[in-house]
Amino acid sequence: MNIPAHLEYPGGITAVDTAYGRPRFDAAHLIVEQGRAAFVDSGVSPSVPLLLAALEAKGLGRDQVDYLFVTHVHLDHAGGAGALLAQLPNAKVVVHPRGAPHLVDPAKLIAGTRAVYGEERYNALYGEIVPVPRERLLITEDGQRLLLAGRPFEFIFTPGHALHHHCIVDLDHGGVFTGDTFGLSYREFDVDGRAFVLATTTPTQFDPEQMRASLARIVAYAPRALFLTHYGRVTDVARHHAELLIDLDAYVAVARTAVAKHGPGQAAVQAITAAIFAHLEARLEAHGDTHSAAERQAILGVDVELNAQGLEFWLGRNAN
């Protein structure tokens, strides 16, 4: 199957496949306005040539990029920020204040990710993580606005997935770039133009009440479209919001049951993983998805296991 590397959307927005993990898993978004440009998220360091190629395809020079908006500093979103910035002479990296120190000194992010993936897998996925010079950071305040060639973007702090997460509201075009706050939506699960969105509860800063509040804050803007790093544009925001709340309630319930039965640890994670996958399979059946269980597992398996780990970690963090 020929999978396009770019998905073009209204408002001068392009989803660029960063080639992280698998096709159509991780996107950076390129915004073009009156000859000026901004990227939202960078992918990983090996993604940088793909982002520069997307810029070139638009007939834009590297000096026409004013900003790299980083939704949060997890490496699949911002691992390539320093390497990309080195190619963009006029750009500033726009980041949440809690994320800024990790871009200047990414040692803790690198060590944590290596511990999860191992040295060989880490090197294949992430390459060299280049620090961002402090003087090229623009650290946001909640509600701050920036202009791209006169086009206003508002930055809102949205914890729940990560404490260093902010979303970017495209005020003139009714869009929000949501990073991981508004869940995941893989294009493989589109049915008759209807997207399937699922909640993400990955470690280590997941908090369900913060997530619910952040979702409410996003939908209060009445956006016409959301742009997810995983993956691309979705509409029908009210339906997705309701489904994400159902996911969160279900995830928390099965996690509490599993930890009560097994205690904290790997047995609980395995039980949570199985229960979340069963919940999502039921949702996919109702959605009209025709993938087999094995195909769904191939697409969602890593996310479901990370969700389970995040729930078990959250319960352990909040245990009395």
> Helix/strand/coil (H, E, C) string of the chain?
CCCCCEEEECCCEEEEECCCCCCCCCEEEEEEECCEEEEECCCCHHHHHHHHHHHHHCCCCHHHEEEEECCCCCHHHHCCHHHHHCCCCCCEEEECCCCHHHHHCCHHHHHHHHHHHCHHHHHHHHCCCCCCCHHHEEECCCCCEEEECCEEEEEEECCCCCCCCEEEEECCCCEEEEECCCCECCHHHCECCECCCECCCCCCCCCHHHHHHHHHHHHCCCCCEEEECCCEEECCHHHHHHHHHHHHHHHHHHHHHHHHHHCCCHHHHHHHHHHHHHHHHHHHHHHCCCCCHHHHHHHHHHHHHHHHHHHHHHHHHCCC
236-260: pLDDT as tens digits: 999 999 999 999 999 999 999 999 9
pLDDT of residue 116: 72
pLDDT of residue 203: 87
What are the domain boundaries of the chain? Answer: 6-237, 242-317
| Share above pLDDT 70 across residues of the chain, in percent, rounded to a whole number | 99
Q: What is the pTM of this model?
A: 0.96
93-122: pLDDT as tens digits: 999 999 999 999 999 888 888 887 788 888
- pLDDT of 129 strictly over 70: yes
In CATH, the architecture of 6-237 is 4-Layer Sandwich (3.60)
